[in-house]
Structure 1
Amino acid sequence: MEKPRVLVVDDEVEAREFIRRYLTRNDFEVSSAGNGLLGLRLLSRNNFDVLISDINMPRMNGVEFSRRARALHPQLVIIFLTGQAALKTAQEAIKIGVHEYLAKPVELEHLKDSIQQGLAKISDRKKDLDYYRRLELELKVNKGRIDSMKNELITLISHELRTPVTVVTSTFDLLKEVIEMPSVEKMHGFSDDKKKRLFANIEKGHRRLIDIIEDLNCYLNLSKDTASFDKQKVEMNGFLSNNLSAFKELIAEYQAEISLELSEKSLEADIARDKMTDVLERLIHNAAYHNPAGTQIRLSSASASKVVNGKNQEVVRIEVSDNGRGIERSLLDNIFKPFSITDIDHHSRGLGMGLCICKKIIELHRADIRLDSPSQGRGTRIVIDFPA
């Protein structure tokens, strides 16, 4: 078993040597220094378990020395020695995490006991740390397994859905041909209105199955480590304006209204046009689909700044907001996770993949997306920030 390594720092030679000789006889490996600067030099070159430091020393006092020592060795057991106690020094000692504060002349047995108690505390702390590190590793491994199983399940579901959808598609086409025959129409009384309703219902269910399969495949492709797409610099005001008609058509059946508010200055961002169109279509469709008729949707662009890693960063900001029913605060934490359904009462389609897909696309643009919903009945606001 290795001997605990102790560093004694004191400008009084006799006091320093007295402690060094005693601890050496009691199975400690001891080094010593006459001031804080020499002590820091030893600490930078060697590993120590315990630091015993006088407080009142020339060139660098014990408090400043111990603060720097702690930065070099976070697990160091620090014991202060002082001939004159002071409240301010005691407060500083607490901040640094000093194990004990002993008065001079020090009682050697008390000092030894204090060292052993400090080492025991550090040992327990290391055991706890090792335990939590092992636990964290196990959680990462298990998360990886779960993610793998989840992707395998999604692949299986997607594959299993494709077969019946193919059968439905071919049968639907055949049925359409048969029903449109004049003899069938006379025999079964298939009026044009009845045929339209029948085909509309079949086609709606068929389209829903296809959308589910496409969302599952989209999620899987975006989740791959190799996922990426070609981006180009795009003027965002023009991009939004050019897509406005398509957005209006997308939400027409829900009787929602959309307005466009553009920045006065030109805004450019690196985007993949088709992917960003997909994101905006999903967000705007959600705002119309999950809210009552007459909901007002606002699509806007602006130049903004935000703090990133302590520095201000200019961003191109795109917002999709509405004045609808909003989202429960308890659901917001999981809003961008796969299979997250935030509107159970009004949910009747899909697997809750839309916002998750949007987030993955935005992240692959090296951009950020967030959702705010102040409270139910006060609408929803989704903000996308691109690096300017």
Structure 2
Amino acid sequence: MTEPRVLVVDDEKSMRELLAITLERQGYEVSVAEDGEVAIEAVRRDGFDVIITDLRMPNADGLQVLRAAKEHTPETVVIVITAVGSTETAVEAMKLGAYDYITKPFKLDEIHLIIRRALERKRLRDENLYLRKQLETQHRFDNIVGKSARMAEIFDTIRKIADSPSTVMVSGESGTGKELVARAIHFNSQRRTKPFVSVNCGAIPEALMESELFGHVKGAFTGAVANKVGLFSAAEAGTLFLDEITEIPTLLQVKLLRAIQEREVRRVGDTRDLKVDVRLIAASNRELEQAVSEGVLREDLFYRLNVIPIHLPPLRERREDIALLVAHFLQKFGRQLNKDVRGVTPEALAILERYHWPGNIRELENVLERAIVLGGGEVLGADALPESVRRERPMKALEVELPEDGMDLEATLDALERRYLQRALDRSGGVQTKAAELLRMTFRQFRYKLQKHNMARRGTAVEE
């Protein structure tokens, strides 16, 4: 790392030499100028991080040096030195862009502190500009931010498959940006001017899911007072994104498979098939192979959906992207909340890069929005972050023992799973939806587990 370059401008030789000697001892690379004209020539010829200039000098004064610096290198920090009684000129210098002023006589420690603060502010500003430039060029893809090798591979895959009609299966933990990938595929394809329809399958009641996906005709069932267009038809010539695909009931998966294969759907209560032209993208936060083995996802549907798989890594496995994501969200929320937040301190960034982010990018986004709303400065410090992030405790290691004669691992894991299910039911008072939340499961996943362990029939759970 190169030493910061400082230009000292003063017509008093003793003052120039004193500042030059003390600043060199502090590790700065120092140049000197005996008047304003020499300083202006130096500014035009070389670049400086900091300029310390007296205001009153022959030939050209400090204000002229300041104007020249801001014209040629606007990022240069300028500190002006003024005599007692010249504060009006110092205020004018501040209006022209000077970082600060100091009044003679001054203590050397005082000017050292001002320089350190000025350089830290300049570093944060330069870093923020650099990150913004990266965000605007090669490190973003339709609001997907990243520069890591794994994200670069995903960007490349999106470009290659955008115009393909093949189905795509996006997997990854909650909060990793699966819908953003789906949108990127759609809006980089020839279908970009047509509808992008997104639906969370876990949010649709089972009884209504077939009608939501395929539509229904008037009189098909009680309450069907008019024809309804299904999501497949709503996405005609565009893209249909089915999030949490494993939440679709098994019986309905058969009809979904037929819709993909035949490119036609049949509305509930109808006798005719309707042709559809839809690019299908599915997503799940589950291990798909495990979902197939457990019977939650039909194997034939899995293979039909998994033509082009894209797996999004959790944020803890792409920590090199956190600085870019932080810059992205500061820019986003600064604009939305009308707050001028230029960056985070090195300490705060270190905390953000160390935290394990169980909620992934969505959690990081929420943390930064909170920090900006509650914070009051241009730079977010560590104290602006939630205590849960600042004081992360490592997960307690689970001690395991392997008997000498071995063990039945599958039976042991089944027993352990059953115990956790029962413990969650006990703590929630038998309310299945609350028990599912305790175990970070969807309600349907939790109910499947109960059926698997023959617990539902024993009355151990009560649906909310």
TM-score in same-fold range (> 0.5):
no
Larger radius of gyration: 1
TM-score interval, normalised by the smaller of the two chains: 0.3 to 0.5
- Report the structure, 1 or 2, having the larger helix content: 1
- Report the structure, 1 or 2, having the larger strand content: 1
How does the TM-score come out when normalised to structure 1? 0.37
